[in-house]
């Protein structure tokens, strides 16, 4: 059984953080760290703000990672991603910053993030980042997001 005694958000009423920088990403021990396996988080309704206009931007995020010693606690990840709702940044910055923050907090064996952004100015912007080559023999499914054609 995983020890969750040090977690401060799970099972508690927790307000949305004011900003991504103030969000607390929590982690739990990986009891299966002797093998490589893929963990996927999908956030189909990710929202941030355009830093120029203040208008909302929307994306479908897919985060894949191979854990080492730590797993991200999912409620803290949801709150972290939700903190971008009032954060002004370009698509590229949001996507890469999320990936880098997860790498900093978890030190996974491998991580990739796909940010499939809905059109701004009539043009969708998709942003992809990964830490390097995935582990050998890892089953790596397609991220499952179709090229933009009224993405749904």
Active site (catalytic) residues: 50, 57
DSSP per-residue letters across the chain: ----TT-SSTTS--PPPSSGGGPPPPEEE-TTTTS---EEEEEEEEEEE-TTT--EEEEEEEEEEE-SSEEE-HHHHHHHHHGGGG-B--HHHHHHHHHHHHHHHH--SEEEEEEEEPPBTTB--EEEEESSSPPTT--------PPSSS--
């Amino acid at each position: 059984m995983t020890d969750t005694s040090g977690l401060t958000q799970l099972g508690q009423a927790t307000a949305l953080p004011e900003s991504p920088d103030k969000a607390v990403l929590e982690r739990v021990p990986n009891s299966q760290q002797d093998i490589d396996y893929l963990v996927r988080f999908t956030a189909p309704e990710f929202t941030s703000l355009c830093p120029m206009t203040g208008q909302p931007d929307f994306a479908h995020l897919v985060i894949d990672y191979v854990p080492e010693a730590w797993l991200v606690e999912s409620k803290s990840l949801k709150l972290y991603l939700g903190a971008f709702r009032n954060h002004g940044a370009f698509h590229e910055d949001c996507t890469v910053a999320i990936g880098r923050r997860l790498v900093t907090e978890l030190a996974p064996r491998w991580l990739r993030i796909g940010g499939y952004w809905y059109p701004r100015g009539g043009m969708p912007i998709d942003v992809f980042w990964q830490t390097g080559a995935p582990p050998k023999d890892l089953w790596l499914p397609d991220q499952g997001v179709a090229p933009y054609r009224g993405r749904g």
